Amino acid sequence: MSSSCNATAPIDISTNASTNPIKVGSFICSYDPDLCTGAAVSMSEDRVYLTIKCNSSNDSKVVFYGGGSFIPTEIRIYAPSLHTYNGSHTDAEMLIVHSPGSSNSSNSGSSGLIVSVPISISSNGTSTDMSAILQAANTINPGTLSVNSSAPINEDINVNDLIPAKPYYVYYGTLPYDSCGGNYYYAVFTDTISAVGPISNMVASGIATVPMASKTNLQKSNGPPTTGSGDGDDGQAEEYVLYQVVDDESCPDAKPKGKSTAADDSTGKSFGINAIFGIVIAALIVGVAYLFWNWNVVKTAAATTVAAASAAVAGSSAPAPPPSLFASNSNNSGNMSTGQLIFVLMISIIGCIFVAYVGGTSVYRANK
């Protein structure tokens, strides 16, 4: 078919050749798990391909780089494959055909998107979804295709499980069958999914690969697409953030374990200096208190002498002097009482602690 028109697809994917990597954007193909629920597999009248019509009301999210959003409409299976891989066909190939999303005008230049997955057939295939599709297709009678060309799929098919978690190739080309027209984005996987076979009653399509054109622009992804397979992926574009782990030795604020820093030393020294300063202040308080007490004693003695003299002149006894905070009893002979000394020392110690605490706290906060 490709020889009868200006086809630019399908092509041969050479995994050994150097291919430009995709540098910008992402590919999200998160399919609705009910995309194929209740659907039947049908065989074309010429027995060239199998087809499954997708449910029109599905919540699939398919976004292809800058091409915009797309809606899955049909799944086709060809045997052998349409694309070749390093010059060779695989047993079969699945094409998920998408039409442009109606609400997205950014992909107005594209006719749609085709996701291609190669299939290998074996007796111990691991894809239960694809095996179920092929098993249903094998029940179709090729002699009665005009009457009944379809068969129900007896398993719930999750299309997400048919997408390999592998890198893929992208290019731009025409539709690989029918009119071989249009302009389609392609996402072609080269890692196969394996299914239990055989594939019965199908014939080769005869569609040949074509050389890459100037607008093919073949590129390769660095990783798998974002899918809706049951691996915790929610179908949103993944974002990876690299956090650089910095060694403690390269961090200027890091404190080596078991060692004191300059800030610790200065804090300790400042606290000691403030303690000495507090002791000096306490000593001054004691001295001032002592002088004040002695001055009070002198005033009391003088007042008593004057009162006694006046009393002698008047012939009456002297009144008792007013009570004083620092008044001494008659047994101290001008010295501080024990209670007075303890009071002064307590005031001095409190002043010492206060000065040392305030000074040390200020230095600590400044160095923090």
Task: Mark whether 180 and 267 lie in a shared domain.
Answer: no
Task: Mark whether 60 and 188 lie in a shared domain.
Answer: yes
- What pLDDT sits at residue 93? 98
What percentage of the chain reaches a pLDDT higher than 70? 62
Q: What angle do CA 176, 65, 157 make, to 5 degrees?
A: 60
Domain annotation covers residue 252 = no
The burial class, CB within 10 Å (0-12 / 13-18 / 19+), for 315 is: exposed
Domain annotation covers residue 210 = yes
Domain annotation covers residue 238 = no
Domain annotation covers residue 253 = no
User: What is the per-residue pLDDT across 223-280, written as a single tens digit (0 to 9) for each?
Assistant: 999 988 754 344 333 332 222 222 333 333 333 334 444 444 444 555 566 667 667 6
Q: Please state, as a whole number, how many other Cβ atoms lie within 10 Å of the Cβ of residue 261.
A: 13
User: What is the per-residue pLDDT across 100-135, written as a single tens digit (0 to 9) for each?
Assistant: 987 655 555 789 999 999 999 999 999 999 999 999
CA distance 47 to 142: 8
Last residue of a domain, one of 179, 210, 227: 227
Write a three-state SS string for 136-181. HHCCCCHHHCCCCCEEECCCCCCHHHHCCCCCEEEEEECCCCCCCC
Average pLDDT, the chain: 76
Task: Note the pTM of the prediction, 2 decimals.
Answer: 0.62
Strand 69-78 to 61-64 pairing? antiparallel
Mean pLDDT of 291-316: 50
Query: In the beta sheet, which residues pair with residue 115?
Result: 96, 187
**Domains identified in the chain, total number:** 2
Domain coverage including residue 307: 262-367
Length in residues, the chain: 368
Task: Mark whether 222 and 269 lie in a shared domain.
Answer: no
Domain annotation covers residue 307 = yes
Task: Mark whether 51 and 186 lie in a shared domain.
Answer: yes
Identify the band that residue 4 occupies on the pLDDT scale cut at 50, 70 and 90.
Answer: low
Domain annotation covers residue 240 = no
Task: Mark whether 55 and 124 lie in a shared domain.
Answer: yes
Identify the band that residue 2 occupies on the pLDDT scale cut at 50, 70 and 90.
Answer: very low
Q: What CATH number is attached to the domain comprising 24?
A: 3.10.200.10
Domain annotation covers residue 116 = yes
Domain annotation covers residue 241 = no
Task: Mark whether 277 and 345 lie in a shared domain.
Answer: yes
Task: Mark whether 159 and 22 lie in a shared domain.
Answer: yes
- What pLDDT sits at residue 196? 96
Task: Mark whether 333 and 197 lie in a shared domain.
Answer: no
Task: Mark whether 153 and 199 lie in a shared domain.
Answer: yes
